[in-house]
Amino acid sequence: MKRRDILTGAGALALAGCAGSQEDQAPGAGDGRRFSWRMVTTWPPNFPGVGTGANELARLIERTSGGRIRIRVYAAGELVPAFEVFDAVSRGNAEMGHGAGYYWRGKTEAAQFFTAIPFGLTAVEMNGWLYFGGGLDLYREVYEAFNLVPFPAGNTGVQMGGWFNREINSLSDLRGLRMRIPGLGGEVLQRAGGTPVNLPGGEIFTAMQTRTIDAVEWVGPYNDIAFGLHRVARYYYYPGWQEPGPTLECIIGKRAWDSLPEDLQQIVATCCSAVNDQLTAEYYARNSRSLRQLREEGRIELRQFPDDVLIELKRISKEMVDELAGADPVVARVNQSYRDYLDISSDWMRISEQAMLRARDL
**Contact residues for Ca ion, defined by CB under 5 A:** 159, 217, 243
- Please say whether the beta carbons of 71 and 38 come within 8 A: yes
- Please say whether the beta carbons of 101 and 247 come within 8 A: yes
159 vs 317, beta carbon nearer Ca ion? 159
| Helix, strand, or coil (residue 151) | strand
- Please say whether the beta carbons of 22 and 266 come within 8 A: no
11 vs 49, beta carbon nearer Ca ion? 49
β-strands 235-238, 301-304: how paired?
parallel
- Kindly state the smallest distance separating residue 196's Cβ from Ca ion, in Å: 12
- Tell me which residue of 92, 221, 83, 115 sits closest to 163, measured CA to CA: 221
- Kindly state the smallest distance separating residue 337's Cβ from Ca ion, in Å: 23
Q: How far apart are CA 25 and CA 157, in angstroms?
A: 32
- Kindly state the smallest distance separating residue 343's Cβ from Ca ion, in Å: 25
Q: What are phi and psi of 74, to 5 degrees?
A: -115, 130
217 vs 282, beta carbon nearer Ca ion? 217
Whole-number Cα distances in Å, 144 to 39, 139, 225, 252, 257: 19, 9, 37, 11, 12
- Kindly state the smallest distance separating residue 41's Cβ from Ca ion, in Å: 16
127 vs 242, beta carbon nearer Ca ion? 242
188 vs 271, beta carbon nearer Ca ion? 188
30 vs 202, beta carbon nearer Ca ion? 202
Residue type, 329: P
How much is the CA Rg of the chain, to the nearest whole Å? 20
- Kindly state the smallest distance separating residue 156's Cβ from Ca ion, in Å: 7
6 vs 123, beta carbon nearer Ca ion? 123
- Please say whether the beta carbons of 72 and 37 come within 8 A: yes
Q: How far apart are CA 307 and CA 17, in angstroms?
A: 45
- Please say whether the beta carbons of 30 and 263 come within 8 A: yes
- Kindly state the smallest distance separating residue 246's Cβ from Ca ion, in Å: 7
- Kindly state the smallest distance separating residue 180's Cβ from Ca ion, in Å: 9
